[in-house]
Amino acid sequence: MHAGIEHLGLNVALQLLVGVPLEMVHGAAKIGFVYIAGVVAGSLAVSVADMTAPVVGSSGGVYALISAHLANIVMNWSGMKCQFKLLRMALALICMSFEFGRAVWLRFHPSAYPPCPHPSFVAHLGGVLVGITLGVVILRNYEQRLQDQSLWWIFIFIYVVFVLFAVFWNVFAYNLLDLKLPPPP
C-alpha cells in the first residue's frame, strides 16, 4: 500500500537509482539487509512516535538506502574517483527533502487523499537513522582509520539501543499509558 501513484513511483525510482549502484559495489546481501532494517526501523519509529497513524509504502527502506549512500560517500570521500560526488549528495538530499515534505503534508492535510488515512512520516526518520548507522557499520570503508573503528562501535550501539527501546516501548507502552489501538481502516 502506498499513498498514491506518485509515492509508489518515487519509491521505486529511488530504489533503482540508489539501490542498484550500491549493490554493484557492496553486494546484494549487505544492501538488502540495510533496506530491510530500514523498513523495520521505520515501522518501529512510527509505533513509538506516531502510534495512531498507519505506515504505508517503503519509505523507511528507501531512506535507509539513500542515507547509507550518503554515509558511504562521506566515508570514502578521498578515495572516490567520481567527479560528481557533491552533485550526487545534493540530488539525494533534494529528493529526500521533497518526499519528506510531501509525507508531512499528507499526514496533516485533512483532504489530501480522502481514502488514505493520513499515513505517518516518521518511518522516513527511522530509515535515515538506520541508513547512517548501518551504512557506516556494514558498507565498505576503503580507507579505515582508528577513529572509524570507534565510530563503528558508536553506531552499532546507537542502532541496538534504538531497536531495543522501540521493541520494549511496543511491548509495554500501551498498558503503561492506558492507550487503545485505533480501529482498522
Question: What are the residue numbers of the active site?
Answer: 59, 124
Task: Report d(CA 136, CA 120) in Å as an integer.
Answer: 27
Task: Report d(CA 125, CA 179) in Å as an integer.
Answer: 24
**Whose CA is closest to 121, among 97, 105, 101, 104?**
104
CB 164 within 8 A of CB 96: no
